[in-house]
Copies of this chain bind each other. A is one copy, B any other.
Amino acid sequence: MLRTEGLGMQLYDTADLRAELHQIGCRLTPQREKILKFFQNLPQGNHLSAEDVYQALRQRGENISLSTIYRSLKLMARMGLLRELELAEGHKHYELNQPYPHHHHHLVCVQCNRTIEFTNTSILKTGIKQAEKEGLHLLDCQLTIHAICPEALRRGWPSLLPSNWVCPRALNGTVTGVITQN
């Protein structure tokens, strides 16, 4: 569910989580609590796969099974606590769902997967309007801009690039935490 309050999920505590879980007939478990807390303490701009979350928690000594990670991520995405993203990599990524005005979108290079976040309020308005027009309840609204680094283009993309070729921009990591204004 798209959250329209002005507060971030950081202020969403254990009691709130329990309440919201109970509302839909679910229970608060240590696993669910830890997973949500983990996302709440993650720096902005991280987009993690289920496997990423699994490894990160395991390193902290938490031993939550991968199945449970998958189940929890899906549940929390449905509940609107997390956002499920389809970037360009063959697996889903998750981030904390930050309501308006922190709601944002993604620009991603299909070659190096570098991902840049940006905000744009009119897009959310479009989503609200379209859902209302069709009589549906809005859950999320994501503009994904697929792009390609000029370095890759010069090397012959969209033909196959040499399998060992890595986009130089990928070196800064595949994710930037900077949210640029529209």
A interface residues with partner B (beta carbon < 8 Å): 1, 24-26, 75, 78-79, 86, 107, 109-110, 116, 118, 120, 122-123, 126-127, 129-131, 133-150, 153, 156-159, 180, 182
Contact = CB atoms under 8 A, between A and B. Distances in A.
Nearest to A24: B159
Contacts of A118: 130
Give the dominant DSSP class at A's interface.
Answer: mixed
B145 A141 contact: yes
A126 B130 contact: no
Contacts of A150: 135-137
Contact of A148 (B79, B137, B158, B159): B137
A145 B128 CA distance: 9
B159 A26 contact: yes
A147 B142 CA distance: 12
